[in-house]
C-alpha cells in the first residue's frame, strides 16, 4: 500500500461529540489519531461538542475522519455540515447515514428489497400506554428485544423475558429516544461483517463470530470486558460465510452506504437462517472494535485501515 501521505493535507479526526456514545467515540478517535500521526499524516483531534464545525474551514482542514458515533455523528447531520463546508469526509453520505441510524427506517428499506430482518413493533410516544406495551409480546413472542431505534453500542437495550418486564424496558429505552423499537429475539449465533468501498466495487471483509458470556453482548462486553470471545475466522461453513458476506453487501448497497460500514446479524440456531439487525456507518475503532479485527484477518493493519479510510474521504456532491 502506498504510504505517501503528503497529498492528504491537514486532517481533522472528529471525535467525542454530544451523543450517548461520546466515551466510545473518544476511544475510537484517539486510536485513529495516533495511527494517522504514526504514518506522518498532519492529523488533529476535533471535538464538535466543544468547537463549531465552521472552524474546520477557517483552520484550513482538507478532510475529516469521522470517528463520531451515535446522534450528531453518524446520523447525517455532521455529514450535511461537511457537505456545506466542502470538506471531504470518511464514511457514508447524508442520506445513507440518516437511514442507517434509524433502525426502523433501515428495516423498512431492507424489507422492501426482500432482505431478512427480525419482525418488529414500533412504539411511537402516543403508543407507549400500558395496554399498548403489554400487547407487544402477543405479536412478537417472548423473549424479545426492546431498544432505542436511533442509538448504538447496546445503549438502552433490554432483553425481555416476560410480560412484567415490558413497562420498565420501554421506559429505559424512552430515556434515549422518544420512539421505542421492539424486535423479535433471534436465538442463535451473533455475527458481524464489515464492508469497505462503494457500490459495485464494495468488498465484504471476513465475518466475525461473537461469543459473549450468556449471550449478553452489552455495552460493558463490547468495550471494556475481556470475557467476550471473538472468532475470526468465524468458524462458519464456507457457504454460510459467503452468504453472510452476500447479505451484508446487499444491505450496504441498498442503503447507499460508501466508504465503510459494518452489518450486525444473527444466525438462528433452529434452522441456520440469517437475519440482518443493523448497519453501522461509523463503526468503532477502539482496541476491542470489530472492523480492525476483521481487517487484520484480511491482512490489513490498523494503521493501514485508518489510512485507507482517510484516502476514501469524499463528498456526496463529488461522487463519480
Q: Going from the N-terminus, what domains does the chain have, and what CATH number goes with each?
A: 6-90 (3.40.50.20), 99-116+187-310 (3.30.470.20), 120-184 (3.30.1490.20)
Averaged pLDDT score across all residues of the chain: 93
pLDDT at 302 over 70: yes
Distances (CA, A) of 249 to 30, 53, 100, 311, 313: 29, 32, 14, 21, 20
Check residues 288 and 31 and name the one with the higher pLDDT: 31
Per-residue model confidence as pLDDT tens digits over 8-23:
999 999 999 998 889 9
Q: By the 8 A CB rule, do 5 and 311 touch?
A: no
Burial of 250 (0-12, 13-18, 19+ CB in 10 A): middle
Q: What is the dihedral of CA 93, 95, 98, 99, to 10 degrees?
A: -120
* Rounded CA separation 157/123 (Å): 14
Check residues 132 and 6 and name the one with the higher pLDDT: 132
**C-alpha cell belonging to residue 228:** 467476550
Q: Helix count (H) and strand count (E) of the chain?
A: 11, 13
Taking residue 54's Cβ as centre, other Cβ atoms within 10 Å add up to 11
Q: Which residues are annotated as catalytic?
A: 21, 153, 223, 262, 264, 278, 280, 284
Q: What's the distance, Cα to Cα, between the start and end of the chain in Å?
A: 23
* Rounded CA separation 69/28 (Å): 9
pLDDT given at position 319:
56
pLDDT at 2 over 80: no
Q: By the 8 A CB rule, do 118 and 273 touch?
A: no
How confident is the model over 87-107, as a mean pLDDT?
97
For the entire predicted model, the pTM comes to 0.92
Partners of 267 in the beta sheet? 189, 274
* Rounded CA separation 229/225 (Å): 10
pLDDT at 151 over 90: no
pLDDT given at position 101:
94
pLDDT at 154 over 80: no
pLDDT at 298 over 60: yes
For residue 13, what are the contacts with CB-CB under 8 A and spacing of at least 6? 29, 32, 33, 36, 43, 44, 45, 46, 64, 65, 67
pLDDT at 1 over 50: no
Per-residue model confidence as pLDDT tens digits over 191-229:
999 999 999 999 999 999 999 776 554 555 454 556 778
Per-residue model confidence as pLDDT tens digits over 229-261:
899 999 999 999 999 999 999 999 999 999 999
Q: Which residue has the cell 484480511?
A: 298
Taking residue 239's Cβ as centre, other Cβ atoms within 10 Å add up to 9
Distances (CA, A) of 10 to 39, 80, 209, 285, 313: 13, 20, 37, 21, 13
Report residue 3's pLDDT band, with 50, 70 and 90 as the boundaries: low
Lowest mean pLDDT among 79-83, 166-170, 260-264, 286-290: 286-290
Amino acid at each position: 500500500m502506498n504510504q505517501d501521505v503528503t497529498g492528504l493535507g491537514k486532517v481533522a479526526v472528529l471525535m467525542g461529540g454530544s451523543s450517548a456514545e461520546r466515551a466510545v467515540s473518544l476511544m475510537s478517535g484517539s486510536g485513529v489519531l495516533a495511527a494517522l500521526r504514526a504514518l506522518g499524516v498532519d492529523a488533529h483531534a476535533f471535538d464538535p461538542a466543544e468547537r463549531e464545525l465552521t472552524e474546520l474551514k477557517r483552520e484550513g482542514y482538507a478532510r475529516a475522519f469521522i470517528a463520531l458515533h451515535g446522534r450528531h455523528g453518524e446520523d447525517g447531520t455532521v455529514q450535511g455540515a461537511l457537505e456545506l463546508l466542502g470538506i471531504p469526509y470518511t464514511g457514508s453520505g447524508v442520506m445513507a447515514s440518516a437511514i442507517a441510524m434509524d433502525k426502523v427506517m433501515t428495516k423498512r428499506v431492507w424489507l422492501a428489497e426482500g432482505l431478512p430482518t427480525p419482525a418488529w413493533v414500533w412504539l411511537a410516544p402516543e403508543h407507549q400506554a400500558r395496554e399498548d406495551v403489554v400487547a407487544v409480546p402477543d405479536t412478537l413472542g417472548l423473549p424479545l428485544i426492546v431498544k432505542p431505534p436511533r442509538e448504538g453500542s447496546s445503549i438502552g437495550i433490554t432483553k425481555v423475558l416476560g410480560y412484567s418486564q415490558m413497562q420498565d424496558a420501554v421506559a429505559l429505552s424512552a430515556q434515549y429516544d422518544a420512539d421505542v423499537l421492539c424486535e423479535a429475539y433471534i436465538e442463535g449465533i451473533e455475527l458481524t461483517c464489515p464492508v469497505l468501498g462503494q457500490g459495485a466495487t464494495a468488498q465484504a471483509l471476513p465475518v466475525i463470530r461473537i461469543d459473549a458470556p450468556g449471550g449478553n453482548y452489552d455495552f460493558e462486553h463490547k468495550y471494556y470486558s475481556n470475557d467476550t470471545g471473538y472468532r475470526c475466522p468465524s468458524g462458519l461453513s464456507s457457504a454460510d460465510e459467503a452468504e453472510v458476506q452476500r447479505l451484508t453487501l446487499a444491505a450496504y448497497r441498498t442503503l447507499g452506504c460508501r466508504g465503510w460500514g459494518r452489518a450486525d446479524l444473527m444466525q438462528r440456531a433452529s434452522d441456520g437462517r440469517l437475519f440482518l439487525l443493523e448497519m453501522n456507518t461509523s463503526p468503532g475503532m477502539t482496541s476491542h472494535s470489530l472492523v480492525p479485527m476483521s481487517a487484520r484477518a484480511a491482512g490489513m493493519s490498523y494503521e493501514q485501515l485508518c489510512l485507507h479510510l482517510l484516502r476514501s474521504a469524499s463528498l456526496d456532491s463529488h461522487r463519480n
